[in-house]
Amino acid sequence: MRVLVTGGAGFIGSHVVEALAARGHEPVVFDARVDPGADVRDGAAVARALAGADAVCHQAAMVGLGTGFADAPDYASHNDVGTAVLLAAMAGAGVRRLVLAGSMVVYGEGRYDCARHGRVRPGPRTVEDLDAGRFEPRCPECGAWLAPGLVGEDAPLDPRNVYAATKVAQEHLAAAWARDTGGTAVSLRYHNVYGPRMPRDTPYAGVASFFRSALARGQAPTVYEDGAQRRDFVHVRDVAAANALALEADPAGGALTAYNTGSGEPHTVGELAAELAAAHGGPAPRVTGEYRLGDVRHITADSARLRTELGWHPEVGFAAGVREFAGAELRGAR
């Protein structure tokens, strides 16, 4: 297949391009890093890039929590307007296969169980609790501490920050496009992707990049809250392989199919920082107790659907992946 990869020169996109080429496909990179005119909000540029394409792998996005709500117009413009323009161009060009870079942030908090009330959904954490160092969500019924678990694709969507809201909107746009055109749309809901070519020294990257950037400067990684936040860290090459399999699959047309894309092995943020610092030979992490209001406490994936339906399985374990990442080259923020 000839596959247009938006954001194909970026962190994840560049690995997707390599994975597609290795499987005999023809990836076409659409990215402002290599062509300043490659903007997914420019319908004419997108239409030209789609010429001869059989499918689109949409990786271009503004990511991360950013620097505050003032970033909201940029997030909505790049992620949602850009996706709408792309989908309109695909509809016009007759391209009917889409794989979208989704995100686990669409869930908000992950799955929680109360010993007394069973499955519950805690509300957003309050500033009062966070200021007091009470980071764990409590049962909305009885106030008891909750046990976190793995979240599945059928969990309600509950975005807790601007970036998350735009990722939900992207999925809704893709679902509307699929219904209107009969196309196939897959959203791979990435968990915490890490690995070679992550951007450095930018507020729009993930926690693994923050830690690795600090170590590259000879500084201790800064860990928010108490470091016990649970995440699913999945290696970028495994994510790229998931994209290739999703493009080659034959899901039902006219609807969006979502797949959690995570390693299936939860680790804490503090554990990542410690393992990365030890592998890099840098200063030990510094746990600050500070917090970011848009962060959630625990979010880890159940990726059984992706394994069962597409035959995907992660090949890079946490320990090996962190050791590689500790010495990997980072790229500029752009």
Amino acid identity for residue 51 in this structure: A
Q: How far apart are CA 231 and CA 104, in angstroms?
A: 10
SS3 149: strand
Q: How far is CA 210 from CA 27, 87, 283, in A?
A: 30, 33, 14
What CA dihedral angle connects 333, 331, 166 and 69, to 10 degrees?
A: -30
For 219-271, list the strands marked E by DSSP: 222-223, 230-235, 255-261, 266-268
**Phi and psi, residue 317, nearest 5°:** -70, 165
Phi/psi-derived region of residue 254, left when phi > 0, alpha when psi is between -120 and 50, beta in every other case: left
**Count of CB atoms situated within 10 Å of the CB of 139:** 18
Give CA–CA dist 182/287, Å, rounded: 50
Active-site residue flag, 163:
yes
CB 268 within 8 A of CB 229: yes
Q: Which of 107, 112, 163, 190 is the catalytic position? A: 163
List active site positions. 163
